[in-house]
């Protein structure tokens, strides 16, 4: 008996599965400028590295839908990015809007389990309509489909997870964006609990997709998305770049990279970035770009809580996490959003063994009714607590101002392994204008203010901090890069080969 | 002279222009939206046309519908009033292209003055006095900071394409700058569809003093003195008066003459208002130019005796200023106007509703311009101004007393109105002393509470 019919059936089924929602649907998307699922997979992974898991999966609820549900709408498998293994799920919107149902749920769960247990990153490329209907309808549907895998959304940060939102990403794609370590969204995509259509049915609220879950909302207001990109291609570049700073799992140090030529070339001019007057502002990103290896600054949540700056980067070829104040926004005063952003970043870096560099220039935490209404004290204490739980090496540099509670949160005292200060540093309990009023009883413009102010300012200069060994060094600004590279080496975790204790690995994925 | 003029507006200004047309013996065409059907001033028009639903976008702002009425009615000129399409260069051009005279300056002036930074640039080339300002701001934060440092703090962020005080935000120092610029950009983008913003030096306790200008199609231009419109709430005028209190006449006269010279040199060719801010240091700074009849024109009419609407129409028809104005334009006494808004006098929120009682005061030397009558509805579709009350007397004190008395006698029921707030201002010591500035209303109302 010939086995040929079996092989032809195999080939026919394989072709059918690879065809997804069919040529017409794929062509339509191509015409609209969107990549198809397998094109995305090719763009994401190293050439020919993909091995698929579940190619022949189809609807697990309605066997008669097998023909309409190739791969059950979610393509899963393993591949390599820059030569390193990853587990991957790419949603295929042409198959029932990549909605979640029984078989694809099992596929996603298996990818997550493998990534977690065998130590490799998980990458999910989302675009989805949410739960599949009628599959999940009714008590039977609910009982069969929802909640049977308690690890589905459990995050204990054993291995890095990156998620992308492309196009409408309701339901699972939104959930995964929220529980990932890095999320990227293409402009035009929607990240929201449910679609504008459902919202208008349920609430009679007419709302556009952009208002409900557009990039501006998530980049500026919710902070749920780490980066926003214009083009679909940029999504994959962002994920590659993010993973390049990360270890494959939390029991190893991040990989080293060659130091790009020209790194440190701007250090001679770094001091000139600071304006002449202490009341003037500047963009801290320029300082960071000058200090870190050339072109390695990878900023997270750049439009959210912008008085803080968080970025992955490399120093001397090693991954570092930069936490800084950016005086360009609110003079660097930290508000509730800025605290959330920093905490998020501290959890990321500590969980994946990325040492921290802290650059300080802040007049303190934002005060006032707006701050209190935003729950600032709670956010500040989360920040404070996170700083006490960090176990990776951390070095802080006081560039200019460091005042009040923010001094401690930004690594003051023993909250850094080592503190260096620029000669421009000023440290005190409160800004000298207010301190002058409180200590000497004279306000701005009143007689005797100038002299009293000078006195208070003097007491805030860098030498006080250095003399009581609260700063371990005072450095020339142009030596900052060399100093940091050396000190990160001094404080490296020799006994655990660069692996920290991950005390925040179960902290929430958003606050 | 024109034989038939269409009035493309509503309310008080429609009534005002229709009255002028009747006085000049010109046939008139009025238009009305569904909300304005049966409005009292429509009876003054020779013909009336319905132009669609209440929403301004579909009626008074709908160029196609209005141009359609222009064609149907065979009018030979169009008066745009103020607001709506009065400063829309594209509309003015379309009216001209239809072979109909647009009663206002040539479209190029409307376009030139409509974009705030371009208007500033243009005025500056003719030597208009102005404070330091920036060009339209670039995207890079560092360029924004540099622009502000050049001007000096505090600065005001202003939309380049807007008006009405919307989207203007102060930044008192560098730490507030980027947020202010970004918020202003997003407000401007939502409000005017143009996110461009620029910076101006923010003046402390500034006064808004504007100069009425009139020009003809033959290269002549004069000013008809100033109006002080400092008393504003949220950058919208509430009380306007002429002459400006507590400023030397010689100072005003010098600025007015300079403006008239600039208008002549530029070749401006109809009615307009040059708005200036006067700083506490006495400097006059160009704010913007309105290329249309102004809401507060009645104040100038009272003190100069010139009918500005007549003059505007005659100038548009090609007459010379020398034929319609006296050789010197004098100033007689003091005039003061209050805008009566259907709004909550405490929080200034609009208060639409039916005017169950609406009885304007009838007194000597008190003029009331309104488009409303008892029983009419104030709808949320349009500006909530329901009347202007203008008092004229020999002295400022007497004019203020007369205006206050007239406002007290104004009977309005059915909607909340701002008369109590206006009376509080008129009676405040600061206002009486002529110490007006654009922040006066919140100051006075805060004291009252």
Do residue B164 and residue B213 come from a single domain?
no
Residue B234 has pLDDT above 90, yes or no: no
A85 prior amide bond cis, ω within 30: no
Task: List the pLDDT tens digit at each of the 511 positions of chain A.
Answer: 688 999 999 999 999 999 999 999 999 999 999 999 999 999 999 999 999 999 999 999 999 999 999 999 999 999 999 999 999 999 999 999 999 999 999 999 999 999 999 999 999 999 999 999 999 999 999 999 999 999 999 999 999 999 999 999 999 999 999 999 999 999 999 999 988 988 888 888 788 999 999 999 999 999 999 999 999 999 999 999 999 999 999 999 999 999 999 999 999 999 999 998 988 999 999 999 999 999 999 999 999 999 999 999 999 999 999 999 999 999 999 999 999 999 999 999 999 999 999 999 999 999 999 999 999 999 999 999 999 999 999 999 999 999 999 999 999 999 999 999 999 999 999 888 888 888 888 888 888 888 888 888 888 999 999 999 999 999 999 999 999 999 999 999 999 999 999 999 999 998 7
pLDDT grade, residue B165 (50/70/90)? low
Question: Mean pLDDT across the stretch B327-355?
Answer: 93
Do residue B64 and residue B213 come from a single domain?
no
A196 prior amide bond cis, ω within 30: no
Task: Note whether A333 contacts B: Cβ–Cβ < 8 A.
Answer: yes
Do residue B222 and residue B282 come from a single domain?
yes
Please report whether residue B350 resides in a domain: yes
pLDDT, position B305: 95
Contact present, A275 and A219 (Cβ < 8 Å): no
**Substitution target from A220, A274, A275, A281 for chain B, most B beta carbons within 10 A:** A281
A418-421/A394-403 β-pairing: parallel
Q: Which residues of A touch B177 (CB under 8 A)?
A: 281
Task: Give B405's contacts (C-beta < 8 A, 6+ positions apart).
Answer: B361, B363
Q: Which residues of A touch B178 (CB under 8 A)?
A: 281, 328-329
Residue B191 has pLDDT above 80, yes or no: no
Of B141, B149, B175, the CB nearest to A330: B175
CA A396 to chain centre: 21
Residue located via tokens 């809007």 = A97
Contact present, A47 and A82 (Cβ < 8 Å): no
Give one DSSP letter per residue of A316-364, joined into a string. Answer: TTEEEEEEEE-TTTGGG-B-HHHHHHHHHHHHHHHHTT--EEEEEEE--
CATH of the domain at B154: 3.30.1490.20
Which candidate, A101, A122, A103, A104, places its Cα nearest to that of A113?
A122
Do residue B94 and residue B147 come from a single domain?
no
pLDDT, position B449: 59
Task: Note whether B141 contacts A: Cβ–Cβ < 8 A.
Answer: yes
**Substitution target from B139, B150, B178 for chain A, most A beta carbons within 10 A:** B178
Do residue B233 and residue B333 come from a single domain?
yes
Please report whether residue B374 resides in a domain: yes
Task: Note whether B149 contacts A: Cβ–Cβ < 8 A.
Answer: yes
B427 burial class (0-12, 13-18, 19+ CB within 10 angstroms)? middle
pLDDT grade, residue B54 (50/70/90)? very high
Angle at B184 between CA B130 and CA B212, to 5 degrees: 35
Q: Which residues of B touch A328 (CB under 8 A)?
A: 141, 145, 178
Q: How far is B124 from chain A (nearest CA, A)?
A: 30
Please report whether residue B110 resides in a domain: no
Tokens at A66, concatenated: 């097998």
Of the ranges A174-178, A504-508, B43-47, B130-134, which one carries the lowest mean pLDDT score? B130-134
Bridge partner list, A155: none
Do residue B294 and residue B434 come from a single domain?
yes
Last residue within a domain, chosen from B201, B225, B241: B201
- Percent of chain B having pLDDT more than 70? 99
Beta carbons within 10 angstroms of residue A372's beta carbon = 12
Task: Note whether A287 contacts B: Cβ–Cβ < 8 A.
Answer: no
Last residue within a domain, chosen from B49, B82, B103: B103
Q: Residue B295: which domain range? A: 207-448
**pTM score over 0.80:** no
Q: Is the dihedral of CA B422, B423, B424, B428 positive or negative?
A: positive
Residue-wise pLDDT tens digits, B237-256: 999 999 999 999 999 999 99
Please report whether residue B229 resides in a domain: yes
What's the domain count of chain B? Answer: 3
Do residue B148 and residue B90 come from a single domain?
no
Eight-state DSSP code of residue B346? T
Contact present, B406 and B361 (Cβ < 8 Å): yes
Q: Report how far residue B61's alpha carbon sits from residue B105's, in angstroms, rounded to the nearest whole number.
A: 19
Q: Which residues of A touch B189 (CB under 8 A)?
A: none
Residue located via tokens 């669609």 = B52
Q: Which residues of B touch A331 (CB under 8 A)?
A: 173-175
Do residue B303 and residue B379 come from a single domain?
yes
Of the ranges A159-163, B50-54, B190-194, which one carries the lowest mean pLDDT score? B190-194
Contact present, B1 and B24 (Cβ < 8 Å): yes
Contact present, B91 and B63 (Cβ < 8 Å): yes
Question: Per residue in B54-75, is it b (16+ CB within 10 Å) or e — as a string?
Answer: bbbeebbbbeebbbebbeebeb
Please report whether residue B124 resides in a domain: no
Last residue within a domain, chosen from B52, B85, B103: B103
pLDDT, position B163: 64
Q: How far is A83 from chain B (nearest CA, A)?
A: 38
Q: Report how far residue A218's alpha carbon sits from residue B331's, in angstroms, rounded to the nearest whole number.
A: 60
3-state secondary structure of B372: coil
Contact present, A368 and A173 (Cβ < 8 Å): no
Please report whether residue B115 resides in a domain: no
Task: Note whether B204 contacts A: Cβ–Cβ < 8 A.
Answer: no
Please report whether residue B15 resides in a domain: yes
Please report whether residue B116 resides in a domain: no
Residue located via tokens 């690890």 = A151
Domains and CATH numbers, chain A: 4-244 (3.90.226.10), 267-425+461-493 (3.90.226.10), 431-460 (no CATH)
Contact: B175, A283; criterion CB under 8 Å: no
**Substitution target from B172, B175, B177 for chain A, most A beta carbons within 10 A:** B175
Of B149, B173, B178, the CB nearest to A328: B178
Do residue B304 and residue B441 come from a single domain?
yes
Residue B2 has pLDDT above 80, yes or no: yes
Do residue B323 and residue B423 come from a single domain?
yes
CATH of the domain at B51: 3.40.50.20
Residue B164 has pLDDT above 80, yes or no: no
Q: Name the more confident of A93 and B204.
A: A93
A389 burial class (0-12, 13-18, 19+ CB within 10 angstroms)? middle
Residue B260 has pLDDT above 70, yes or no: yes
Residue-wise pLDDT tens digits, B267-306: 999 999 999 999 988 899 999 999 999 999 999 999 999 9
Tokens at B106, concatenated: 């040539």
Q: Report how far residue B276's alpha carbon sits from residue B291's, in angstroms, rounded to the nearest whole number.
A: 14
Task: Give A178's contacts (C-beta < 8 A, 6+ positions apart).
Answer: A224, A509, A510
Task: Note whether B176 contacts A: Cβ–Cβ < 8 A.
Answer: yes
Do residue B258 and residue B377 come from a single domain?
yes
Do residue B195 and residue B214 come from a single domain?
no
- Percent of chain B having pLDDT more than 90? 84
Contact present, A120 and A111 (Cβ < 8 Å): no
Task: Note whether B139 contacts A: Cβ–Cβ < 8 A.
Answer: no
Angle at B261 between CA B256 and CA B267, to 5 degrees: 125
Tokens at B210, concatenated: 């504007």
Task: Note whether A404 contacts B: Cβ–Cβ < 8 A.
Answer: no
Question: Per residue in A43-54, is it b (16+ CB within 10 Å) or e — as a string?
Answer: bbbeeeebebbb
Q: How far is A279 from chain B (nearest CA, A)?
A: 7
Contact present, B42 and B19 (Cβ < 8 Å): no
| Torsion, Cα of B381, B386, B390, B391 (10° steps) | -150
Known catalytic residues of B are 292
Task: Note whether A279 contacts B: Cβ–Cβ < 8 A.
Answer: yes
């Amino acid at each position: 008996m010939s086995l040929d019919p079996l092989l032809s059936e195999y080939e026919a089924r394989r072709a059918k599965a690879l065809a997804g929602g069919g040529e017409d649907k794929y062509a339509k998307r191509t015409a609209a400028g969107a990549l198809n699922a397998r094109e995305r997979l090719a763009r994401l992974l190293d050439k020919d590295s993909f091995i698929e898991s579940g190619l022949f999966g189809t609807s697990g609820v309605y066997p008669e839908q097998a023909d309409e549900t190739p791969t059950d709408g979610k393509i899963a498998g393993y591949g390599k990015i820059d030569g390193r293994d990853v587990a991957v799920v790419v949603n295929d919107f042409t198959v029932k809007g990549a909605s979640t149902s029984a078989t694809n749920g099992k596929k996603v769960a298996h990818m997550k389990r493998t990534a977690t247990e065998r130590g490799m990153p998980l990458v999910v490329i989302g675009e989805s309509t949410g739960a599949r209907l009628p599959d999940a309808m009714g008590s039977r549907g609910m009982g069969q489909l929802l909640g049977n895998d308690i690890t589905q959304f459990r995050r204990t940060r054993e291995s890095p997870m990156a998620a992308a939102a492309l196009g409408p990403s309701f339901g699972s794609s939104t959930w995964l964006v929220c529980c990932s370590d890095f999320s990227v969204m293409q402009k035009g995509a929607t990240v929201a609990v449910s679609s504008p259509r459902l919202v208008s049915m349920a609430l009679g609220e007419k709302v556009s997709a952009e208002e409900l879950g557009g990039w501006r909302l998530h980049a500026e207001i919710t902070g749920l998305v780490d980066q926003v990109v214009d083009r679909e291609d940029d999504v994959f570049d962002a994920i590659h770049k993010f993973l390049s700073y990360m270890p494959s799992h939390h029991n190893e140090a991040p990989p080293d990279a060659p130091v790009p030529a020209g790194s440190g070339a701007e250090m001679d001019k770094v001091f000139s970035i600071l304006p002449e007057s202490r009341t003037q502002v500047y963009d801290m990103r320029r300082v960071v770009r000058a200090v870190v290896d050339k072109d390695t600054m990878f900023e997270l949540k750049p439009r959210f809580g912008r008085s803080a700056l968080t970025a992955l980067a490399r120093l001397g070829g090693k991954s570092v996490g930069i936490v800084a104040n950016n005086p360009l926004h609110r003079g660097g005063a930290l508000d509730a959003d800025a605290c959330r952003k920093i905490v998020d970043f501290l959890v990321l870096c500590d969980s994946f063994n990325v040492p921290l560099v802290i650059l300080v220039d802040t007049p303190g935490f934002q005060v006032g009714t707006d701050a209190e209404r935003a729950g600032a004290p709670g956010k500040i204490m989360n920040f404070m607590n996170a700083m006490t739980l960090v176990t990776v090496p951390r070095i802080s540099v006081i560039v200019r101002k460091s005042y009040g509670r923010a001094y401690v949160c930004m690594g003051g005292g023993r909250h850094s392994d080592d503190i260096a200060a620029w000669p421009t540093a000023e440290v005190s309990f409160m800004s000298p204008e207010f301190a002058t009023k409180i200590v000497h009883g004279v306000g701005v413009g009143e007689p005797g203010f100038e002299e009293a102010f000078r006195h208070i300012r003097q007491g805030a200069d860098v030498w006080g901090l250095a003399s009581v060994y609260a700063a371990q060094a005072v450095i020339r600004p142009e030596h900052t890069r060399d100093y940091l590279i050396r000190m990160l080496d001094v404080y490296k975790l020799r006994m655990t080969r660069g692996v920290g204790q991950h005390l925040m690995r179960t902290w929430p994925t958003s606050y | 002279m024109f034989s038939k003029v269409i009035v493309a507006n509503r309310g008080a200004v429609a009534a005002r222009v229709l009255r002028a047309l009747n006085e000049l013996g010109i046939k008139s065409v009025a238009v009305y939206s569904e909300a304005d059907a049966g409005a009292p001033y429509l009876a003054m028009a020779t013909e009336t046309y319905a132009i669609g639903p209440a929403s301004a976008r579909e009626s008074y702002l709908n160029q196609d519908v209005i141009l359609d009425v222009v064609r149907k009615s065979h009018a030979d000129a169009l008066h745009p009033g103020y607001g709506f399409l009065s400063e829309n260069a594209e509309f003015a051009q379309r009216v001209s292209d239809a072979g109909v005279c647009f009663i206002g300056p040539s479209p190029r002036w409307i376009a030139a003055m409509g974009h705030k930074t371009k208007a500033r640039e243009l005025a500056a080339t003719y030597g208009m006095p102005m404070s330091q300002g920036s060009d339209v701001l670039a995207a890079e934060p560092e360029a924004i900071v540099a622009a502000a440092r050049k001007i000096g703090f505090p600065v005001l962020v202003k939309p380049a394409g807007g008006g009405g005080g919307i989207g203007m935000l102060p930044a008192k120092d560098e730490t507030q700058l980027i947020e202010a610029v970004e918020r202003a950009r997003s407000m401007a983008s939502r409000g005017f569809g143009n996110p461009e913003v620029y910076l101006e030096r923010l003046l402390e306790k500034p006064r808004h003093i504007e100069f009425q200008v009139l020009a003809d199609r033959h290269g002549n231009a004069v000013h008809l003195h100033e109006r002080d419109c400092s008393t504003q709430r949220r950058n919208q005028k509430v009380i306007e008066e002429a002459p400006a209190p507590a400023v030397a006449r010689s100072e005003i006269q010098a600025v007015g003459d300079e403006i008239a010279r600039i208008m002549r040199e530029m070749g401006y060719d109809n009615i307009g208002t040059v708005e200036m801010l006067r700083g506490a240091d006495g400097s006059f700074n160009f704010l913007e130019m309105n290329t249309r009849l102004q809401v507060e024109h009645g104040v100038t009419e009272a003190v100069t005796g010139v009918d500005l609407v007549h003059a505007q129409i005659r100038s548009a028809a090609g007459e010379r200023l020398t034929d319609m104005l006296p050789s010197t334009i004098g100033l007689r006494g003091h005039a003061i106007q209050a805008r009566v808004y259907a709004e909550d006098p405490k929080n200034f929120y609009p208060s639409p509703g039916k005017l169950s009682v609406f009885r304007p005061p009838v007194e000597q030397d008190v003029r009331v311009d309104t488009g409303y009558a008892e029983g009419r509805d104030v709808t949320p579709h349009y500006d909530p101004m329901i009347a202007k009350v203008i008092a004229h007397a020999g002295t400022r004190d007497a004019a203020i007393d007369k205006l206050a008395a007239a406002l007290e006698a104004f009977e309005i029921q059915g909607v909340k109105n701002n008369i109590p707030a206006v009376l509080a201002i008129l009676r405040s010591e600061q206002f009486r002393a002529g110490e007006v500035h654009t922040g006066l209303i919140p100051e006075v109302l805060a004291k009252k509470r």
